[in-house]
């Protein structure tokens, strides 16, 4: 697997078939997003239902950065991949995820 | 070792000698006995292969595509409507650059329903990217299967290939077949060594989307592969002749074309009978020869152009009907010559369609017709041979 | 080249007969071809099969139109098929029947005639069933008797090699038919 994206310029740089060693993790699907899920960690109960339902594996489980918090681990959204589909917000049992408009740049 | 085998048994023997690792096929007359024979080889342990039962020809091709992707040598066989059902997957096999080999038994397309020899089924798969070898004897069936793997699996080729035999005339006909020694075949055709294959330890993406910015370049690579195949077929046939003593002369075999004014071009079993006819006409003093289009894809344009320079008339016999304008082989032969200085008269003979028996007499009449073209010029471009009631 | 045409009905073994004969000739280093022409693939339907034998490589892939020998596995076909079509001058017609060849001279006007009761020989050797006997190995014994295309010993070798079951019974039937063939030369 390559460690950075790769763009061939001519047919000479192509593999003989459409077999790629460029992982799709380079694909910045976060740019497709118009609304953005934001987790309110005060409400979050670390049930990880959002992590389970994310269709794009854009949510991972990370150690809770807050010292002495109730939960050791919390979900974290990777905005490089998150397409803003809103499934996590829909599924959250305690309404801890808000879909907020992306700011115009 | 010499055995009396049908073309289909000979086909299965070729597969066995090539040590094919996965077989998936769906039965259809007249192909069925190939896979019956292979199933028996697999069941009695003569061939160490995984035999996958499938529910259609489309699935058969899908199964061998998946298997071939894991880096093993695979085989399937079909005919006529079965081959047509595979059509979508044929494109996939070639586009994914998988060197699958298929035994294709030429049978007419219906309706009218007909199970006999006719090349329309394989001609219809011309544009899928598969190489096509048309053979004339049971011995050539076996030898071609082995050669096809060698060509297909060449690193600069990596394209699938069809070894094509005429329904019944080969598939169900017993002939004497020399079975090559397994050790010699193993030496000639080492185990498949794929440049890439599905490997969990080295994950890669297979068959991914390619945008318009590079799709054409992948097609160009297939064009280069077909060009490379032309060279490889010549080399592999030569090497095979040196080891096994049977020479199929690469893509095109010429028979008694020396000093010929008229040559007849054709493919499949009609070529075998035509050799007798050429001998007869030669003995009468006619300067006539025969050109066997053994390989139709890649198209042997260089060989055809070279022959065209030497002759006054090229008669092209198509055992298929291409709706629209003339036979496919005729049109390609004619097209190959157009941008050269050679200007032989070209006439298309549609012959043996739907299994009409191509007799020596029928061929003799056809060849005499071509000799007449030399004397009196071209009367008509396309002729239906032995058409009841005439045109 | 020697050309043999078999007329039978689907299931009687005409196709297998054509192949066994080819195998035997190949054992005597001849070049061979054997193939069927199926009309419809149905038990009982008329079937034609062909065997070609030559000392030179056989290149002609067409069917046989001018046979040297015609083998009829079932005389009820005589009313359906012109079995003597294209028969070469001096050719032979071999019939599976309990009758003598003289009794067919009025129906089959050309060629040498031979008859053999292959059905009875097959039943006697328990080949197939009494209602559907497999007569092909018997009729081949008779064909070898009139034709000399291969020796009876080579034929028996092929019968033993190619019969899927009852090898010895098939071989015995071929030899008995060889001895029991009745000949009427033209």
Q: What is the DSSP string of A30-41?
A: GGG-SEEEEE-T
Residue ranges and CATH numbers for the domains of chain A are 27-101 (3.30.70.20)
Residue C43, pLDDT score: 73
Mean of per-residue pLDDT scores for chain C: 94
Ranges of each domain in chain B:
2-244, 252-384
Residue C40, pLDDT score: 63
User: Which DSSP string corresponds to B179-241?
Assistant: PPPHHHHHHHSPPP--SS---TTS--EES----HHHHHHHHHHHHHHHHHHHHHHHHHHHHHH
Please check whether residue A75 is in contact with residue A18, taking contact to mean a CB–CB distance below 8 angstroms.
no
The backbone torsions φ and ψ at residue B352, rounded to the nearest 5 degrees and listed phi first, read 70, 20
> Which is nearest to B129 in space by CA: B103, B82, B96?
B96
> Which is nearest to B86 in space by CA: B176, B21, B160?
B160
Given a cut of 60, whether residue A105 has pLDDT beyond it is no
Q: Rounded mean pLDDT of C95-115?
A: 96
Distances (CA, A) of B296 to B104, B109, B119, B129, B228: 14, 19, 12, 11, 15
Report chain A residues whose CB lies below 8 A from the CB of B205.
19-24
The backbone torsions φ and ψ at residue B212, rounded to the nearest 5 degrees and listed phi first, read -55, -20
Give, to the nearest 10 degrees, the angle between helix B7-17 and helix B32-43.
Answer: 40
Distances (CA, A) of A97 to A14, A89, B127: 43, 5, 53
Q: Rounded mean pLDDT of C177-181?
A: 97
CB contact under 8 A, C32 and B360: no
Given a cut of 60, whether residue C169 has pLDDT beyond it is yes
Residue A2: pLDDT band with limits 50, 70, 90: confident
CB contact under 8 A, C63 and B357: yes
Query: Which residue is it, tokens 């009982």?
Result: C44
Residue A102, pLDDT score: 87
CB contact under 8 A, C61 and B276: no
> Which is nearest to B387 in space by CA: B350, B355, B360?
B350
The residues near B41 (Cβ < 8 Å, ≥ 6 apart) are: B12, B15, B16, B47, B49
Residue C10, pLDDT score: 85
Nearest CA in chain A to B205: A20
CB contact under 8 A, A19 and B217: no
Please check whether residue B320 is in contact with residue B120, taking contact to mean a CB–CB distance below 8 angstroms.
yes
Burial class (CB in 10 A: 0-12, 13-18, 19+), B214: middle
Burial C82-104 (b: 16+ CB within 10 A, else e): ebbeebeeebbbbbbbeeebeeb
Ranges of each domain in chain C:
2-184
Chains near C with 3+ CB pairs less than 8 A apart are B
Of residues B204, B220, B225, nearest to A19 (C-beta): B204
Residue B60, pLDDT score: 98
Report residue A40 as tokens.
């309110």
Tens digit of each residue's pLDDT (9 = 90 or more) over C64-75: 999 999 999 999
Count Cβ atoms below 10 Å from residue B208 Cβ, excluding itself: 11
Ranges of residues in chain B with a pLDDT under 70 are none
Longest dimension (CA), chain A: 57
Distances (CA, A) of B147 to B111, B152, B176, B233, B244: 34, 8, 20, 8, 11
B273–C contact, CB cutoff 8 A: yes
Distances (CA, A) of B81 to B124, B130, B169, C179: 11, 17, 19, 49
Residues listed for chain B: 391
Nearest CA in chain B to C37: B168
Report chain A residues whose CB lies below 8 A from the CB of B96.
17-18
Q: Rounded mean pLDDT of A91-96?
A: 98
Residue C186: pLDDT band with limits 50, 70, 90: confident
Topology given in CATH for the domain delimited by B2-244: Rossmann fold (3.40.50)
Report chain C residues whose CB lies below 8 A from the CB of B176.
26, 31-32
Residue C42, pLDDT score: 72
CB contact under 8 A, A11 and B221: yes
ipTM at complex level: 0.92
Report residue C96 as tokens.
């599976």
Residue C164: pLDDT band with limits 50, 70, 90: confident
CB contact under 8 A, B172 and C61: no
Residue A24: pLDDT band with limits 50, 70, 90: confident
Burial B137-165 (b: 16+ CB within 10 A, else e): bbbbbbbbbbbbbbbbbbeebbbbbbbbb
Report residue B137 as tokens.
């004897």
Report chain A residues whose CB lies below 8 A from the CB of B154.
none
The end-to-end CA distance of chain C, in Å, is 22
Residue B361, pLDDT score: 98
Residue B70, pLDDT score: 97
The backbone torsions φ and ψ at residue B257, rounded to the nearest 5 degrees and listed phi first, read -90, -5
Domain B252-384 has CATH 3.30.70.330: no
Please check whether residue B13 is in contact with residue B163, taking contact to mean a CB–CB distance below 8 angstroms.
no
> Which is nearest to B278 in space by CA: B301, B297, B260?
B260
Count Cβ atoms below 10 Å from residue B210 Cβ, excluding itself: 15
Tell which CATH architecture fits domain C2-184. Answer: 3-Layer(aba) Sandwich (3.40)
User: Which DSSP string corresponds to C90-110?
Assistant: T-EEEEE-SS-GGGGTTT--S
Interchain touch C–A (≥3 Cβ pairs closer than 8 Å): no
CB contact under 8 A, A17 and B214: no
3-state secondary structure of A62: strand
B191–A contact, CB cutoff 8 A: no
Distances (CA, A) of B240 to B15, B130, B268, B292, C44: 16, 21, 20, 18, 45
Mean of per-residue pLDDT scores for chain B: 97
Residue C99: pLDDT band with limits 50, 70, 90: very high
Q: Does this model's pTM top 0.90?
A: yes
Report residue A8 as tokens.
């061939």
């Amino acid at each position: 697997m390559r460690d950075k994206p790769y763009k061939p310029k001519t047919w000479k740089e192509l593999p003989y078939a459409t077999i790629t060693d460029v992982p799709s993790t380079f694909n910045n699907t976060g740019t497709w997003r118009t609304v953005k899920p934001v987790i309110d960690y005060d409400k979050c109960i670390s049930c990880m239902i959002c992590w389970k339902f994310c269709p794009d594996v854009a949510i991972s489980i990370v150690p809770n950065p807050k010292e002495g918090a109730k939960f050791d681990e919390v979900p974290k959204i990777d905005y490089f991949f998150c397409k803003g589909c809103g499934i996590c917000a829909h599924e959250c049992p305690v309404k801890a995820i808000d879909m907020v408009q992306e700011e115009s740049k | 070792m010499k055995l009396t085998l049908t073309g289909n048994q000979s086909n299965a023997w070729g597969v066995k000698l090539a040590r094919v690792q996965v077989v998936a096929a769906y039965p259809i007359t007249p192909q069925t006995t190939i896979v019956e024979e292979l199933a028996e080889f697999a069941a009695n342990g003569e061939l160490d292969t995984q035999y996958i039962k499938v529910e259609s020809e489309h699935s058969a091709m899908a199964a061998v595509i998946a298997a071939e992707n894991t880096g093993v040598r695979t085989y399937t066989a079909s005919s006529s409507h079965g081959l047509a059902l595979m059509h979508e997957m044929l494109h996939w096999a070639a586009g994914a650059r998988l060197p699958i080999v298929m035994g294709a038994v030429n049978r007419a397309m219906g309706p009218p329903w007909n199970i006999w020899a006719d090349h329309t089924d394989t001609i219809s798969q011309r544009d899928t990217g598969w190489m096509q070898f048309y053979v004339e004897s049971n011995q050539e069936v076996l030898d071609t299967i082995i050669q096809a793997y060698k060509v297909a699996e060449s690193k600069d080729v990596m394209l699938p290939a069809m070894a094509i035999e005429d329904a019944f005339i080969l598939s169900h006909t017993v002939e004497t077949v020399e079975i090559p020694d397994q050790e010699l075949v193993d030496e000639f055709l080492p185990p498949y060594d794929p440049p890439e294959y599905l490997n969990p330890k080295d994950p890669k993406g297979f068959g991914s989307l390619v945008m318009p910015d590079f799709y054409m370049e992948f097609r160009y690579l297939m064009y280069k592969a077909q060009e490379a195949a032309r060279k490889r077929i010549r080399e592999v046939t030569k090497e095979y002749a040196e080891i096994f003593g049977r020479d199929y002369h690469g893509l095109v075999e010429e028979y008694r074309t020396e000093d010929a004014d008229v040559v007849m071009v054709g493919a499949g079993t009609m070529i075998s009978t035509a050799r007798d006819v050429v001998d007869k006409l030669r003995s009468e003093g006619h300067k006539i020869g025969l050109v066997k289009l053994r390989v139709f894809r890649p198209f042997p344009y260089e060989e055809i152009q070279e022959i065209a320079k030497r002759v006054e008339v090229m008669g092209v016999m198509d055992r298929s009907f291409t709706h629209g304008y003339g036979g496919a082989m005729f049109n390609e032969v004619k097209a190959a010559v157009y941008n050269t200085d050679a200007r032989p008269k070209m006439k298309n003979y549609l012959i043996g369609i739907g299994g009409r028996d191509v007799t020596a007499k029928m061929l003799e009449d056809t060849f005499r017709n071509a000799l007449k073209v030399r004397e009196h010029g071209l009367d008509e471009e396309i002729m239906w041979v032995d058409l009841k009631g005439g045109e | 080249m020697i050309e043999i045409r078999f007329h039978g009905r689907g299931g009687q073994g005409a196709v297998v007969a054509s192949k066994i004969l080819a195998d035997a000739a190949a054992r005597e280093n001849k070049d061979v071809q054997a193939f069927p022409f199926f009309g419809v693939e149905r038990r009982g339907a008329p079937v034609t099969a062909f065997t070609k034998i030559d000392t030179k490589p056989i290149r002609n892939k067409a069917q046989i139109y001018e046979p040297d020998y015609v083998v009829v596995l079932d005389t009820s076909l005589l009313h359906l098929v012109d079995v003597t079509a294209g028969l070469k001058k001096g050719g032979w017609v071999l019939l599976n029947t309990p009758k003598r060849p003289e009794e067919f001279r009025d129906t089959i006007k050309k060629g040498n005639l031979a008859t053999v009761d292959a059905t009875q020989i097959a039943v006697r050797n328990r080949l197939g069933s009494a209602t559907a006997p497999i007569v092909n190995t018997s009729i081949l014994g008779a064909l070898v008797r009139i034709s000399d295309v291969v020796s009876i010993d080579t034929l028996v070798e092929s019968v033993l090699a190619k019969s899927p079951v009852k090898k010895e019974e098939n071989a015995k039937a071929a030899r008995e038919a060889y001895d029991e063939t009745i000949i009427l030369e033209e």
